[in-house]
Amino acid sequence: MINKVVMDNVATFKNREEFSPSLINYFYGFNGSGKTTLSNVLLNSQNYNKCSVEKDIDDTSEMVVYNKSFVEDLFSDSSRLKGIFTLGKDSGEALEIIDKSKKEIDILKKENIGLKTNIDKKAQEKTTFENDMKEKCWNQKLKVADTFSQALSGFVSSKDKFKNKCFEITLNTNNLKSIQDLENDYKLLFDKELIEQQELNTLNTNELSKIETNEIFNEVIKGNENTTVAELIDKLNNSDWVKQGLTYLEKSDNKCPFCQNKLTDDIKHLSEYFNKEYKEKCSKIESVKEQYENLSTNMINNLSSIIEEYFKDDKEMELLDEQIKTVFLNNKKNIEVKIATPSNKVLLEISDEIIQKINIKIVNLNQKIKDDNKKISNIVKEKEKFKSDLWNYIVNELDKDISVYKVNISSVEKALIPMNTKYSENEKKINELNEIIRENEKKITGITESLNEINKVLSSFGYDGFKLKEGNIQGTYKIIRPDGTDVGATLSEGEYRFISFLYYYYLISGSNETSGITRDKILVIDDPISSLDSNSLFIVSTLVKKLINECFNNENGIKQIFILTHNVYFYKEVVYRGSRDNKKETKEKYFVISKKNEISSIKEYDKNPVETTYQLLWEELKDDKINKNTCFNTMRRILEYYFNIIGKKDYEKAIDDFDGIDKIICKSLISCINDSSHYINEELSVVFDEDMVDRYKSVFKRIFENLGHIEHYNMMMNEEEMNNG
């Protein structure tokens, strides 16, 4: 069962709307208010980033949605409707097995819910023990970190790392040192000058050399020699000039950018000159340029870091640094020249000689680092021994806490083993029972019974112009005329709407597959009565009420229902209680979906808010979110309906009780009673804004007051209740 629905940032639901549905949920809203968007989210909430549909933890119900998409998908080919498999009537033994298996599954699922709750509790206990131990380790770290910072490097920034390191250490009480001895050893060993250094990598010149010696820079790149303009371009040696000129064509308004004469078709010969091979070579130069820039930039940055760290006062290295930067800069400029004028040759400077000189200095530095590292190799071993002694001290301080922690964790894990085992066994058994259900469903299913039932309904209610027949492909239906021909696209909208709902209705009791018939399901029914006549509307309403009763009685696997409509008659039919048990009212909820300024909202009601069209108009007027562009017409319709019914003929006198703009407003409101118009008279100029909405409401109320009908106004607006409350 769905417990919570969140609509946010989807279609006209631009603001977050959240509601908690019940067993049966009725939604009323005008066309375009957002009902279909809600049905789409219920079907596939994962397709909408900010929307969500929360279900019970053990709920495996399938969403069975009737909406516009369902109808369109169903009638994509009227000669190949998927057959609806249902359980045969002569299948007592198999049905008993299915029923027994489903009951066992329910028992196992309930048991697993309890197990999961206990497993989660134990898991939370384990997490609590782990967090407590982590904090105790961290508190010990705070006591020693400042004093022994270098020896603890790599473990002082993360609680998890520090705790894990503590648990890696095996306590050795025989070699336990005091805190004073550790402090003395630390001062002696961790001198900054005695830290081993890493050797540097030399600079790699291979890729740079390949680019700097690339033959493409020494190549005269020309266009297609087979074009009519090639000879002239070669003679004038102006291919680069022509290429640059072509870039102005798009801005020259079909005129030559040079002579200003109108362009002819001959201009395409210039474009043909710059063929695929020419463009590929130019593209290659661009690629080489990008590669060279990346390589040179990385090398300069790397070299700058090396100089800053190791050659700060080395004048020779500074000179080499300046030289290599100059070479890179000149080469980049030459590559740019080659890109601008591909027919020119350019010569790149070779950086290898300078880089080799730099590498010689790096090699010399590495030799010094090796010599220094040899000198302090024994110190490093002593430092490693010190770190071992320090961690031994830390773990000894935590020894009692670690012992208690291990006992607690062991206790939790022992308790979890049987629960996890039982949970897994139940899940395995559930899967086995589901397979038994599927196998028995396959034995006793068929599509004929659903076909006959649908045809029976069509015939009973006068739909004689078409019926279902088994299709040419096994497991399918087709819709045919009485003479046996396919209906194709000749069904009226009302006809295919009606048969599509019948198909949906019987699909609830069946499946498009040979298995899954007895599955649990949540129904979403979105406006099933569009384009239906009153007779068909009554049939659909009756079928929907039957589904509601089945849901109340937990029959046919129906676990929850959402009904959405804009039709007042249909809405009243499906919510009508009749002789139904009033206790079921606690399992029903009512919602109104409205849209103001292209923003949809959902309002929940404890009782049915939609009694009649007239009452609905008042409900709309009471809503603080009423659209300022529709509230005027809402008030006009109320006045027209009410005063025409009571036969009051002196309403025009009310106009004389107003002055100024209020008089114009009053006249525009009650003029509809005479001419049944639903538009504002052309001679009236009214500007709609938030202030005017309040003014219209004020005049609207005074009309009832001046004509002696304020009691009716108060009743419909619930103002008496508010005043007394």
Q: What is the pLDDT of residues 354-407, one digit of tens each?
A: 999 999 999 999 997 887 677 567 777 888 888 899 999 999 999 999 999 999
Distances (CA, A) of 618 to 76, 566, 634, 694, 704: 42, 16, 8, 15, 14
SS3 assignment, position 597: coil
**Pick from 4, 21, 23, 101: which is nearest to 547 by CA?**
23
Is the pLDDT at 176 greater than 50? The verdict is yes
pLDDT band of 675, cuts 50, 70, 90: very low
Residue 419 identity: M
- For position 514, what pLDDT does the model report? 47
Is the pLDDT at 8 greater than 90? The verdict is yes
**CB 592, CB 603: distance < 8 Å:** yes
Is the pLDDT at 269 greater than 60? The verdict is no
Q: CA Rg, the chain, in Å?
A: 42
> Average pLDDT in the 561-566 region?
90
Instruction: Give the phi and the psi of residue 158 in degrees, each rounded to 5.
Output: -135, 125
pLDDT band of 302, cuts 50, 70, 90: very high
> Average pLDDT in the 70-93 region?
57
Q: What is the pLDDT of residues 507-526, one digit of tens each?
A: 777 655 544 455 688 999 98
Answer with the residue of higher pLDDT: 682 or 430.
Answer: 430
- For position 405, what pLDDT does the model report? 92
Rounded Cα distance, 320 and 309, in Å: 16
> Average pLDDT in the 612-617 region?
71
DSSP 527-552: -TTTT--HHHHHHHHHHHHHHHHHHH
SS3 assignment, position 275: coil
SS3 assignment, position 63: strand
> Average pLDDT in the 204-209 region?
89
- For position 577, what pLDDT does the model report? 67
Answer with the residue of higher pLDDT: 443 or 203.
Answer: 203
Answer with the residue of higher pLDDT: 689 or 709.
Answer: 709
Answer with the residue of higher pLDDT: 688 or 572.
Answer: 572
Answer with the residue of higher pLDDT: 671 or 672.
Answer: 671
Rounded Cα distance, 526 and 400, in Å: 65
Is the pLDDT at 12 greater than 80? The verdict is yes
Is the pLDDT at 276 greater than 80? The verdict is no
Is the pLDDT at 646 greater than 60? The verdict is no
Count the Cβ atoms, other than its own, within 10 Å of residue 270: 18
- For position 518, what pLDDT does the model report? 56
Is the pLDDT at 72 greater than 50? The verdict is yes
Answer with the residue of higher pLDDT: 691 or 205.
Answer: 205
Between the two ends of the chain, the Cα-to-Cα distance in Å is 38
**Pick from 449, 465, 477: which is nearest to 75 by CA?**
477
Answer with the residue of higher pLDDT: 330 or 615.
Answer: 330
Is the pLDDT at 410 greater than 90? The verdict is yes
Quote the strand ranges of 2-156, DSSP E.
2-7, 17-19, 24-28, 52-55, 62-66, 81-82, 86-87
Those residues with Cβ within 8 angstroms of residue 556's Cβ, 6 or more apart along the chain or in another chain: 508, 509, 550
**CB 590, CB 575: distance < 8 Å:** yes
| Token reading at 310 | 């190791």
- For position 417, what pLDDT does the model report? 92
**Pick from 568, 545, 692: which is nearest to 632 by CA?**
692
- For position 184, what pLDDT does the model report? 82
> Average pLDDT in the 190-209 region?
80
Is the pLDDT at 41 greater than 50? The verdict is yes
pLDDT band of 89, cuts 50, 70, 90: very low
- For position 380, what pLDDT does the model report? 75
> Average pLDDT in the 471-499 region?
70
pTM above 0.75, yes or no: no
Distances (CA, A) of 335 to 244, 277, 344, 707: 17, 19, 11, 91
- For position 136, what pLDDT does the model report? 92
Cβ-count burial of 420 within 10 angstroms (0-12 exposed, 13-18 middle, 19+ buried)?
middle
In terms of average pLDDT, the best of 50-54, 370-374, 578-582 is 50-54
pLDDT band of 605, cuts 50, 70, 90: confident
Is the pLDDT at 690 greater than 70? The verdict is no
Is the pLDDT at 587 greater than 90? The verdict is no
- For position 358, what pLDDT does the model report? 92
**CB burial readout 660-698, b (16+ within 10 A) else e:** eebebbbbbbbbbbeeeeeebeeeeeeeeeeebbeebee
Those residues with Cβ within 8 angstroms of residue 366's Cβ, 6 or more apart along the chain or in another chain: 199, 200
**CB 697, CB 618: distance < 8 Å:** no
> Average pLDDT in the 233-250 region?
55
- For position 554, what pLDDT does the model report? 84
Is the pLDDT at 214 greater than 70? The verdict is yes
* CATH code for the domain defined by 2-75+491-605: 3.40.50
92-101, 491-500, 501-510: segment of lowest average pLDDT:
92-101
In terms of average pLDDT, the best of 71-80, 201-210, 334-343, 601-610 is 201-210
Q: What is the DSSP letter of 228?
A: T
In terms of average pLDDT, the best of 97-106, 176-185, 562-571, 703-712 is 176-185
**CB 479, CB 78: distance < 8 Å:** yes
Q: What is the pLDDT of residues 622-644, one digit of tens each?
A: 877 666 666 777 787 788 767 66
Domain ranges of the chain: 2-75+491-605, 91-196+398-426, 198-223+275-375, 224-274, 613-724
Cβ-count burial of 170 within 10 angstroms (0-12 exposed, 13-18 middle, 19+ buried)?
exposed
Instruction: Give the phi and the psi of residue 88 in degrees, each rounded to 5.
Output: -70, 160
Q: What is the pLDDT of residues 145-175, one digit of tens each?
A: 888 888 888 888 889 999 999 998 888 888 8
pLDDT band of 497, cuts 50, 70, 90: confident
- For position 661, what pLDDT does the model report? 78
Residue 33 identity: S
In terms of average pLDDT, the best of 162-176, 178-192, 336-350 is 162-176
Those residues with Cβ within 8 angstroms of residue 154's Cβ, 6 or more apart along the chain or in another chain: 161
Full strand arrangement of the beta sheet holding 588-596: 62-66, 521-526, 558-565, 24-28, 588-596, 599-605
CA angle 575, 462, 574 (to 5 degrees): 5
Is the pLDDT at 612 greater than 80? The verdict is no
Answer with the residue of higher pLDDT: 343 or 44.
Answer: 44
| Token reading at 710 | 């304020």
Mean pLDDT of the chain: 78
Percent of the chain beyond pLDDT 70?
Answer: 73
Ramachandran area for residue 527 (φ above 0: left; ψ -120 to 50: alpha; else beta): left
| Token reading at 4 | 């919570």
**CB 672, CB 680: distance < 8 Å:** no
558 - beta bridge partners? Answer: 521
- For position 13, what pLDDT does the model report? 93
Distances (CA, A) of 476 to 83, 469, 645: 4, 9, 54
pLDDT band of 723, cuts 50, 70, 90: very low
479 - beta bridge partners? Answer: 468
Rounded Cα distance, 659 and 663, in Å: 5
Rounded Cα distance, 14 and 255, in Å: 50
Q: What is the DSSP letter of 238?
A: -
**CA dihedral (495, 498, 500, 506) positive or negative:** negative
Length of the chain: 725
